């Protein structure tokens, strides 16, 4: 079939919205009519080259839609089912999936190639070329074909333009606080960077019972938004935050520090560690440039204060458990998804949306298709 | 296809080895040639009725009849035929049974608790997990149910892929059969569930096919003292080979000794793995446990019993905890291969667990030997 998709042909180019050819789903695959896609910073990393994936590639990995057709062997999904895509597939069978770490599913190894999990070939084609898919999903499109391992079935009453955000940003931020940082009642938590991820780290920290939540962001609009999402204090820089946290904790500093900036930098890790007190834990959720290999920090801090530095992917959550769980929290009024969406764009507006993101105007922009 | 299978037709009857007819596998099902089957106490619980739901519950559970049932839920074998759309198993693959299925999709499977997979709710209901219909039929044409949807006391069985774990071909199938239930359950009771820590004092009550592996698990986790309690002398001797540091023939006999050797601190972990756990044994078990201790209940109790002799004052004031466990709180798809790799590297004893091998025809002799305390584990071997 023919459909529309936003393609990145080379690093640094704008997204090109054009007609593509889409093959029917093969064994274990599903054809989905997309309803909405979040505009996550990770897709911008494709444009900047921080994520060096094979191009041309259809962008987008925060998607939700309705199943139109299932391939041979797909027994648990049917046309009409509503699905959110987990940005990491989960096979449910490998050692990581079996032990409650679906975010580290062995199928994740196939993500860099961007081709179908089953046989490594492409279902999406344009200008006579095979197209890769961001996270093997390609949600900047009206339709896509993905593996069943990427599909999470959700209840039909959840609005899809909000549901799509749980495929990546919401669980990543919320889980960074709840699962990776293990925020406990009474904690002081600092969140560095209030975008689509950090906004949800704030919500997670609040629900987990944090006493003080310090949101750090240079953009005033985001600091204001942070206060609506659960922050108790804000700071415009790490330097400002050190002083603030020192004062409000009587020098004890933060129990948890969560790094959710647009792009991380090894030089900033030392500043992040400085926000953490004794036994404090720093969680690195944001991406760092792929080729960066050095970090500036005090090793003595690690030993003498027993500080911890841990990484987190998808907020250390499990797509099949946590996407439905967070959508239930949304339904119950304990998680704000509506307030995360700053602006909606049609597929053709993808480049405008990313410009707004770069300009710090959006917490989350969402592409909405009809 | 035809197969020989050992089934029971009602409570307190002998196992009856009969010919059955097995239909071709449907979607997500395969035919397994069971090559080895462990003779676990749980199958005996079917005979005695300890694990048979009372008849008044049957309608609620969606059961027309509980019997006849082909026994066996510990097993390993070779895939000989696959149904349509089966992509994760092929003819010739070696597989271990998993008495708890794991769908990989439900809330429990998705959070590292595959032992609690939602599909487990169908364990005692007849028919396949896949679509509820039967594949196994007696000579008279009536369907027959499989213990835990596996029926490893049959030469061949049609089994859902959700109940099978692929294993490496260099692993002896007898070893895999033991790991599929008893070894994992016992080992996990001491490690994953009791959370035994280096230096702990651990008491294991009952050292049969489960308890012996709780002893192994406690040893591997670094326990300082491991006290094995069993009335049978042969099992106490065997427990010393598996890592126990002390043995006693009863909990009453153990209590003053544990008190003395720990300078009054008592045990950090107590693991209850007797053949049948009766409520009045709990108080004695908990009296062996010290402040802040963990008592793990692994054994099967009579299904309808609802009382246990527990001193709740001590539970609160000494901050003890009582925890149940199924499959040792392990994840079949990760931990069955992991345990087999420990066997391969020499850190887990499996060969030593097997006391005697029996052909399928001698299954009743095997269970008599178990009841008489002659076996740690008997194994049925099919050529």
How many other CB atoms sit within 10 Å of the CB of residue B55?
A: 10
pLDDT confidence bin for B20, thresholds 50/70/90: very high
- Residue intervals in chain A for CATH 3.90.180.10: 2-167+337-368
Domains of chain B and any CATH numbers = 2-167+350-381 (3.90.180.10), 186-325 (3.40.50.720)
Mean pLDDT of chain A: 95
* pLDDT above 90 for B52: no
pLDDT digits (tens, 9 = 90+) for B315-368: 999 999 999 999 999 999 999 999 999 999 999 999 999 999 999 999 999 999
pLDDT of residue A319: 96
Q: Does domain A173-312 have CATH number 3.40.50.720?
A: yes
Q: How far apart are CA B80 and CA B84, in angstroms?
A: 14
Shortest CA distance from A179: residue in chain B: B111
pLDDT confidence bin for B188, thresholds 50/70/90: very high
pLDDT of residue A63: 97
pLDDT of residue A105: 96
Closest-CA distance of chain A to residue B165, Å: 9
SS3 at position B287: helix
Instruction: Supply the ipTM of this predicted assembly.
Output: 0.80
pTM of the model: 0.88
How many other CB atoms sit within 10 Å of the CB of residue A59?
A: 28
Interchain proximity A92–B110, CB inside 8 Å: yes
Percent of chain B with pLDDT over 90: 84
Mean per-residue pLDDT, B259-270: 97
* pLDDT above 80 for A120: yes
pLDDT confidence bin for B44, thresholds 50/70/90: confident
Shortest CA distance from A96: residue in chain B: B334
Number of H helices, E strands in chain B: 11, 18
pLDDT of residue B121: 87
**Pairing status of strand B29-38 against strand B74-82:** antiparallel
pLDDT digits (tens, 9 = 90+) for A131-182: 999 999 999 999 999 999 999 999 999 999 999 999 999 999 999 999 999 9
Residues, chain A: 370
B82, B96, B105, B337: best mutation site toward chain A, by most A Cβ within 10 Å?
B105
- Residue intervals in chain A for CATH 3.40.50.720: 173-312
**Burial category of B295 from C-beta neighbours within 10 Å (exposed 0-12, middle 13-18, buried 19 and up):** buried
* pLDDT above 90 for A312: yes
CATH topology of domain A2-167+337-368: Quinone Oxidoreductase; Chain A, domain 1 (3.90.180)
Sequence-distant (6+) residues with CB within 8 A of A54 are A112, A113, A114, A132
Tokens 């704000």, residue located:
A336
The secondary structure of A232-253 as a DSSP string is SEEESSHHHHHHHHHHHTTT--
The least confident of A35-39, A53-57, A58-62, A76-80 is: A53-57
* pLDDT above 90 for B54: no
Q: How far apart are CA A251 and CA A47, in angstroms?
A: 42
Q: How far apart are CA B22 and CA B31, in angstroms?
A: 9
Alpha carbon separation from B129 to B88, B121, B122, B150, B250 (Å, rounded): 17, 10, 7, 11, 42
The secondary structure of A278-315 as a DSSP string is EEEEEEE-S---TT-------HHHHHHS--EEEE-SGG
Mean per-residue pLDDT, B9-25: 94
Nearest to A100 among B102, B103, B112 (CB): B112
The tokens for B238 are 């065997």
pLDDT digits (tens, 9 = 90+) for B133-142: 999 999 999 9
**B150, B73 contact by CB (below 8 A):** yes
- Strand ranges across the sheet with B267-272: B246-248, B225-229, B201-205, B267-272, B289-297, B321-324
pLDDT of residue B122: 85
- β-strand partners of B95: B77, B166
If one compares A363 and A278, the residue with the highest pLDDT of the two is: A278
Mean per-residue pLDDT, B274-280: 93
pLDDT digits (tens, 9 = 90+) for A4-56: 999 999 999 999 999 999 999 999 999 999 999 999 988 998 999 888 888 99
> Is the minimum CB–CB distance between A97 and chain B shorter than 8 Å?
yes
Q: How far apart are CA B326 and CA A302, in angstroms?
A: 39
């Amino acid at each position: 079939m023919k459909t529309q998709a936003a393609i990145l042909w080379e690093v640094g180019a704008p997204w090109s919205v054009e007609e593509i050819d889409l093959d029917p789903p093969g064994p274990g695959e599903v054809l989905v009519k997309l309803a909405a896609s979040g505009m996550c910073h990770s897709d911008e990393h494709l444009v900047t080259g921080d994520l060096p994936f094979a191009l041309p590639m259809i962008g987008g990995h925060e998607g939700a839609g309705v199943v139109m057709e299932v391939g041979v062997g797909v027994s648990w999904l049917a046309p009409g089912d509503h699905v959110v895509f987990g940005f990491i597939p989960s096979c449910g069978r490998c050692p990581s999936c079996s032990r409650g770490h679906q975010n580290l599913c062995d199928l994740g190894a196939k993500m860099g190639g961007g081709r179908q999990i089953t046989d490594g070939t492409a279902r999406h084609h344009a200008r006579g070329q095979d197209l890769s898919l961001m996270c093997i999903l390609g949600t900047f499109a009206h339709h896509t074909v993905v593996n069943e391992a990427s599909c999470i079935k959700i209840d039909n009453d959840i609005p899809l333009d909000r549901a799509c955000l749980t495929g990546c940003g919401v669980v990543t931020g919320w889980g960074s606080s709840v699962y990776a940082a293990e925020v406990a009642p009474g904690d002081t938590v600092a969140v560095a960077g209030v975008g689509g991820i950090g906004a949800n780290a704030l919500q997670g920290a609040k629900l987990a019972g944090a006493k003080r939540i310090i949101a750090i962001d240079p953009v005033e609009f985001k600091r204001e938004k942070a206060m609506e999402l659960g922050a108790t204090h804000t700071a415009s820089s790490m330097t400002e935050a050190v002083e603030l946290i020192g004062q409000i904790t009587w020098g004890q500093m933060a129990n948890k520090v969560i790094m959710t900036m647009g792009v991380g930098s090894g030089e900033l890790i030392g500043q992040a560690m400085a926000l953490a007190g004794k036994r404090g834990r720093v969680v690195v959720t944001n991406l760092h440039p792929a080729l960066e290999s050095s970090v500036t920090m005090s090793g003595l801090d690690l030993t003498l204060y027993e500080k911890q530095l841990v990484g987190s992917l998808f907020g250390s959550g499990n797509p099949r458990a946590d996407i439905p769980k967070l959508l239930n929290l949304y339904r119950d009024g304990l998680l704000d998804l509506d307030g995360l969406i700053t602006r909606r764009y049609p597929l053709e507006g993808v480049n405008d949306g990313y410009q707004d993101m770069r300009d710090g105007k959006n917490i989350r922009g969402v592409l909405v298709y009809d | 296809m035809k197969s020989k299978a050992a089934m029971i037709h009602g409570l307190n009857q002998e196992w009856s080895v009969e010919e059955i007819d097995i239909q071709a596998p449907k979607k997500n099902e395969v035919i397994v040639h069971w090559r080895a089957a462990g003779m676990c106490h749980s199958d005996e619980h079917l005979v005695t009725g300890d694990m048979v739901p009372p008849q008044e519950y049957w309608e609620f559970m969606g059961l027309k009849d509980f019997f006849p049932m082909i026994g066996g839920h510990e097993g390993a074998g070779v895939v000989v035929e696959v149904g349509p759309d089966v992509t994760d198993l092929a003819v010739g693959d070696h597989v271990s049974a998993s008495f708890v299925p794991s769908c990989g999709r439900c809330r429990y499977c998705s959070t590292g608790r595959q032992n609690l997979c939602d599909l487990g709710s169908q364990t005692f209901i007849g028919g396949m997990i896949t679509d509820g219909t039967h594949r196994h039929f007696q000579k008279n044409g009536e369907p027959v149910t499989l213990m835990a949807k596996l029926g490893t006391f049959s030469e061949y069985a049609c089994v859902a892929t959700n109940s099978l774990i692929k294993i490496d071909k260099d692993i002896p199938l007898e070893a895999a059969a033991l790991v599929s239930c008893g070894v994992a359950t016992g080992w996990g009771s001491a490690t994953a569930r009791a959370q035994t820590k280096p230096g702990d004092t651990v008491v294991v009550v009952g050292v049969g096919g489960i308890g012996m592996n709780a002893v192994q698990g406690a040893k591997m986790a670094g326990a300082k003292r491991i006290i094995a309690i069993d009335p049978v002398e042969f099992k106490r001797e065997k427990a010393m080979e598996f890592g126990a540091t002390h043995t006693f023939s009863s909990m009453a006999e153990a209590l003053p000794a544990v008190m003395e050797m720990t300078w009054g601190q008592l045990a950090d972990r107590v693991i209850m793995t007797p053949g049948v756990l009766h409520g009045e044994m709990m108080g004695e078990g908990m009296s062996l446990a010290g402040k802040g201790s963990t008592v793990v209940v692994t054994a099967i109790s009579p299904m309808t019993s609802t009382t246990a002799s527990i001193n709740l004052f001590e539970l609160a004031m000494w901050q003890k905890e009582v925890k149940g466990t199924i499959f040792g709180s392990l994840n079949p798809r990760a931990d069955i291969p992991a345990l087999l790799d420990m066997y391969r590297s020499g850190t887990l004893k499996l060969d030593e667990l097997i006391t005697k091998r029996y052909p399928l025809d001698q299954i009743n002799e095997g269970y008599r030997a178990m009841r008489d305390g002659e076996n740690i584990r008997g194994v049925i071997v099919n050529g």
